[in-house]
Amino acid sequence: MSETKEMQPRYEPAGVEERWQRTWEDEGLYRAVPDPSKTPFVDAHPPPNVTGELHMGHALQLAVGDTIVRMKRMQGYNVLFQPGYDHAGISTQNAVEKALLREGTSRQELGREKFEARVWEWLHEYGGKILVQFRRMGASLDYSRTRFTMDEAYVRAVMRFFVHLYRKGWIYRANRIINWCPYHQTSLSDLELVHVDVDDVLSTIRYPLADGDGHIAIATVRPATIPADVAVAVHPEDDRYKHLVGREVIVPWTEQRVPVIADERVEREFGTGALKITPGHDPTDFAIGRDHGLPEPSCIGLDGLVTAAGLEGLTQKEAEEKILDWCRERGLLEKRESYRHTVALCERCETRIEPLISLQWWCSMEELKRRPLELLRAREIVYHPESQHRFAIDSLENAPDWNISRQIWWGHQLPVWTCPDGHLTVQETEPEACADCGSTELTRETDVLDTWFSSALWPFATLGWPDDTEDLRHFYPGHLQTTAREIIRLWENRMIFSGLELLGEKPFSDVIIHSTVLAPDGRRMSKSLGTGIDPLEVIERYGTDPTRYGLLKNSLTQDVRFSYAAIEEGAKLANKLWNAARLIVTSCEGALPAERPASLEERWILARLSQTQREVERLLGEFDFAHTTDALYHLTFDDFCDWYLEAVKARLYDGDADARATATAALERLLKLLHPLLPHVTEEIWSHLPERETRLIVAPWPEAGGEEEAGALQRVQESAQVFRRSGIVPQLEGDEKRIFDAVVKPERAPQRGGADAEAERARLRKEIARAEGMLANERFVENAPAEVVAAEREKLERYRRELEAVGDA
RNA sequence: GGGCGCAUAGCUCAGCGGGAGAGCGCUCGCUUCACACGCGAGAGGUCCCUGGUUCGAUCCCAGGUGCGCCCACCA
């Protein structure tokens, strides 16, 4: 399938990349088909939010997964790289609501059914955008298998999961304090909040003792919640208040009598050391209240407005004013001081969160987390880098029960029906009648499930579960996951326990937690800061190959700053490779004779290719992309181009058949090693090589041969170094002399003066003195490892040899 | 308040017990028939500070300083 196109001196990714992306997909080379004769390799790529535009983190994530997957595919694995997108409950609902607002209407006006229809409409318009972006990033996903978490089949999996957990007794309904977003009118998990610092006012208010004997002062930033106070708490060891425990105080405004209790969760150092207890509107107070058996009244409604007697319908600010005035009149307001603290906001709309008590659905984690922990501890599932493995274990150990219900409209409605008598019927599909009393007047639970409840099924719901499909049998359990750090607890842990619980096997064995890509100035990339860089714009400018190279050049262990320089390095590598290929292709037209690598430089480059291949296999096995790029960059520039090609160039021009055959073979191997990293340029070059039977993307990964000759050019390279520094031509013979003359071109090199030679001698003498000094140190020779001492001896000999060559004046 | 991580050349970063490295940038020399997104040479560094362990520390340990991220109910 060689195509005879002229190769331009400069490689231009534009056009070439899109062409290959189409070709690979059209020729079905991304397709994954179950085949029992092959070993599967599965990476279920995280489904981005359907509303989203891909950001730099997605680009990195895709590059990481795609690089591994491309190597595996060439190595003969039956690769499934699964694409799709997530319905992203609240985030999607938000986007559509914003659109409705612009049209002058609202979700409430439309009603639930019309709103849902509207979301689907919106999805049909924008939902495909993600996949276009995936393709443009060169991701070799099997697009024919694209799944959506609200597909009919997927919904069935979600319902099955819920019913399964319910029947196990792990799903329950309970009143708990939750994070309530008054704007979205829904509960939110702790992980859906953002915390920001705000300037607030801390008020110190006196609660008179019921027996008239003085007062206790408490400090609060939320006087509006005073009407729901049920106690005042002090630390049990606090000598200031010990004597008051068990007595009663009078709550301002309501003038209710409440007890003084002791609890060690009270911070003695904060404020006055006394804390008002409002279980209905504060998580700490809620916990303390439950432990002390206190009532849980509320004074703030779901809309965030106050409901307390005499304050009905007021905003919290207004209520606060009234209460503070009330206190002031009675001399109970001790002081007001400015106070900076953090508050929780809804991450979607940045509305201040109200902690409220609400009836929610929960999933108990006690049983579900047991086996995942065993597997993680046994390292049957491994997070990379190692620090994230420990974090994953910690976060699972401490996983609280999971609030799985949300009071929004867009999502999977709970498969729970209630009859007028309050019996619950829980089953996958709509029941005819109540399971308990046979009533046919059933109403379905209006809550929907947390988005992550469905995401948790991604590795197998995409394969057809709950049906026993061929896909499932062949492609489950999978292997790789690539994810951002912040969703380990939201997603990774839940995929693991759901896979183990429902299918009995872990969904994957390795999880790569990639780094966060920061803006060039080290700040977070974010739209609101204006620091975001659109990966598609970078791709437009530099090409996909350079972009993924630039992103992968960084280590996984720490956050990295986005760097155009790294991407330009990738562009240079692509261009260098292109030109190396141009030299070989243009001088090697015509039939190829048998390969017979006879000369020193040929044996050397083939050994270097093998050596680097092993290194790349090892590095990618450890998911070390930074060193992979480094090794391949130097292999291409230094070894392949600057030494090997320079050495054989003359023979290629002369039409030496053996040289041409070996050059083509060597280039072929170089292209294979580089393909996972730079898929497009390597495939394009491959298409210019004569008589290729397959596309490079599915060409077999080479067998790494021997490495014995990898050091064969050492003497020539050392001589070159000495010559270039000193101008002194070394004594070499045969192949070594020929290579030296071809690569170093002594006749063309500028004549060096005596100063250079003298500088070189001085350098060598210094090195020799250092090495001699070390070897003269008995304690070094005795205590240092034998190989370290031997290496030092070798160095000494080499320096002496070089000094002799330079002429020890 | 917990947890994790980072401080190495002008910049971005690798190295992590025995010669201080890469890429970019900078200086100098190359109109060498694959490539100037090239080739060659070079300048540039108390490897954050203070102690400790060691024959030997950029690397290990302790403390300090300065950053970053994640988590957390100080009202």
Give pLDDT tens digits for A193-226: 777 777 788 888 999 998 888 889 898 888 989 9
Q: With CA atoms as reference, report the closest residue to A206 among A247, A249, A256.
A: A249
For A29-33, A280-284, A642-646, A671-675, which range has the lowest pLDDT when averaged over its residues? A280-284
Contacts made by residues A212-215, CB under 8 angstroms, sequence distance 24+: A215/A249, A215/A332
Q: Give the nucleotide with minimal C1' distance to the Cα of A586.
A: B34
For A544-548, A550-554, A576-580, which range has the lowest pLDDT when averaged over its residues? A550-554
| A758 pLDDT tier (thresholds 50, 70, 90) | confident
| CA distance linking residue A251 with residue A232, whole number of Å | 9
The C1' atom of B12 and the CA atom of A555 lie apart, in whole Å, by 12
Q: Give the nucleotide with minimal C1' distance to the Cα of A759.
A: B42
Residues 6+ away with beta carbon under 8 Å from A768 = A796, A799, A800, A803
Q: What percent of chain A has pLDDT over 70?
A: 96
The pLDDT assigned to A5 comes to: 62
Check whether A807 has a pLDDT greater than 80: no
Task: Specify the pTM.
Answer: 0.87
Chain B: nucleotides under 7 Å from a protein CB? 3-6, 11-15, 18-19, 22-24, 29, 32-42, 54-56, 67-75
Give pLDDT tens digits for A2-20: 444 678 889 999 999 999 9
Give pLDDT tens digits for A570-585: 999 999 999 999 999 8
Q: Give the nucleotide with minimal C1' distance to the Cα of A221.
A: B75
The C1' atom of B1 and the CA atom of A50 lie apart, in whole Å, by 38
Question: What's the number of CA atoms in the CB half-sphere (13 Å) around residue A631?
Answer: 22
The larger pLDDT score, comparing residue A526 to residue A591, is at: A526
The pLDDT assigned to A539 comes to: 93
Q: What is the DSSP letter of A708?
A: G
Check whether A604 has a pLDDT greater than 50: yes
Average pLDDT value for residue range A602-618: 94
| A589 pLDDT tier (thresholds 50, 70, 90) | low
Check whether A594 has a pLDDT greater than 60: no
| A590 pLDDT tier (thresholds 50, 70, 90) | low
Per the CB < 8 A criterion, the answer to whether A72 and A494 are in contact is no
Residues 6+ away with beta carbon under 8 Å from A273 = A234, A235, A238, A240, A241, A266, A267
For A128-137, A415-424, A790-799, which range has the lowest pLDDT when averaged over its residues? A790-799
Residues 6+ away with beta carbon under 8 Å from A344 = A179, A193, A194, A195, A352, A353
Average pLDDT value for residue range A340-368: 82
By CB neighbour count within 10 A (0-12 exposed, 13-18 middle, 19+ buried), where does A20 fall?
buried
The pLDDT assigned to A576 comes to: 96
Average pLDDT, chain A: 87
C-beta atoms surrounding A733 within 10 Å: 7
- DSSP string across A42-106: EEEPPPPBTT----HHHHHHHHHHHHHHHHHHHTT-EEEEE-EEB--HHHHHHHHHHHHHHTT--
Of A324-333, A529-538, A709-718, highest mean pLDDT? A324-333
- For chain A, the C-alpha Rg in angstroms (whole number) is 35
| A683 pLDDT tier (thresholds 50, 70, 90) | very high
The C1' atom of B24 and the CA atom of A728 lie apart, in whole Å, by 32
Q: Give the nucleotide with minimal C1' distance to the Cα of A576.
A: B35
Q: Give the nucleotide with minimal C1' distance to the Cα of A219.
A: B75
Q: Could you tell me the two tokens for A291?
A: 């432990």
The C1' atom of B38 and the CA atom of A532 lie apart, in whole Å, by 34
Which residue matches tokens 């990966």?
A535
The larger pLDDT score, comparing residue A434 to residue A576, is at: A576
The pLDDT assigned to A673 comes to: 97
Give the dihedral sign, CA A758/A761/A767/A770.
Answer: negative
Bridging pattern class, strands A402-403 and A248-250: unpaired
The pLDDT assigned to A4 comes to: 47
By CB neighbour count within 10 A (0-12 exposed, 13-18 middle, 19+ buried), where does A462 fall?
buried
Average pLDDT value for residue range A272-300: 87
Residues 6+ away with beta carbon under 8 Å from A116 = A409, A410
Average pLDDT value for residue range A677-682: 96
Residues 6+ away with beta carbon under 8 Å from A372 = A381, A396, A493, A496, A497, A500
- DSSP string across A478-543: --EEEEEGGGIIIIIHHHHHHHHHHHSS-S-SEEEEEPPEE-TTSSBP-TTTT----HHHHHHHH-
Check whether A403 has a pLDDT greater than 90: no
| Backbone phi and psi for residue A185, each to the nearest 5 degrees, phi listed first | 55, 45
Per the CB < 8 A criterion, the answer to whether A722 and A801 are in contact is no
The C1' atom of B32 and the CA atom of A8 lie apart, in whole Å, by 20
| CA distance linking residue A442 with residue A76, whole number of Å | 54
The pLDDT assigned to A750 comes to: 67
Distances (CA, A) of A201 to A223, A333, A350, A719: 10, 13, 20, 76
Q: What is the DSSP letter of A308?
A: S
The pLDDT assigned to A3 comes to: 45
Contacts made by residues A316-321, CB under 8 angstroms, sequence distance 24+: A316/A222, A316/A224, A317/A224, A319/A224, A320/A222, A320/A223, A320/A224
For A166-170, A267-271, A566-570, A608-612, which range has the lowest pLDDT when averaged over its residues? A267-271
| CA distance linking residue A784 with residue A453, whole number of Å | 57
Average pLDDT value for residue range A763-790: 83
Residue at minimum CA to C1' distance from nucleotide B56: A780
Residue at minimum CA to C1' distance from nucleotide B37: A572
| A697 pLDDT tier (thresholds 50, 70, 90) | very high
Check whether A338 has a pLDDT greater than 90: no
| CA distance linking residue A617 with residue A462, whole number of Å | 29
The pLDDT assigned to A588 comes to: 66
Number of helices (H), then strands (E), in chain A: 28, 25
SS3 A295: coil
Average pLDDT value for residue range A298-303: 87
Side by side, the strands of the sheet bearing A402-403 are A186-188, A171-181, A354-363, A402-403
Q: With CA atoms as reference, report the closest residue to A83 among A20, A157, A30.
A: A30
The larger pLDDT score, comparing residue A748 to residue A539, is at: A539
Q: Could you tell me the two tokens for A102?
A: 């612009």
For A102-106, A572-576, A660-664, which range has the lowest pLDDT when averaged over its residues? A102-106
Q: What percent of chain A has pLDDT over 90?
A: 38
Q: Could you tell me the two tokens for A692?
A: 């290729």
The C1' atom of B68 and the CA atom of A69 lie apart, in whole Å, by 32
Question: What's the number of CA atoms in the CB half-sphere (13 Å) around residue A395?
Answer: 19
The C1' atom of B62 and the CA atom of A795 lie apart, in whole Å, by 36
Roughly what angle, to the nearest 10 degrees, separates helices A734-744 and A714-726? 50
Per the CB < 8 A criterion, the answer to whether A245 and A261 are in contact is yes
Per the CB < 8 A criterion, the answer to whether A647 and A742 are in contact is yes
Which residue matches tokens 């390795």?
A510
| Backbone phi and psi for residue A163, each to the nearest 5 degrees, phi listed first | -65, -40
Average pLDDT value for residue range A325-347: 85
| A1 pLDDT tier (thresholds 50, 70, 90) | very low
| A342 pLDDT tier (thresholds 50, 70, 90) | confident
| CA distance linking residue A521 with residue A533, whole number of Å | 12
Per the CB < 8 A criterion, the answer to whether A134 and A146 are in contact is no
Q: With CA atoms as reference, report the closest residue to A760 among A726, A727, A723, A728.
A: A726
The C1' atom of B12 and the CA atom of A554 lie apart, in whole Å, by 10
The pLDDT assigned to A596 comes to: 62
Q: Give the nucleotide with minimal C1' distance to the Cα of A202.
A: B75
Average pLDDT value for residue range A617-643: 94
- Three-class SS string for A136-175? HCCCCCCHHHCEECCCHHHHHHHHHHHHHHHHCCCEEEEE
Q: Could you tell me the two tokens for A515?
A: 């780094």
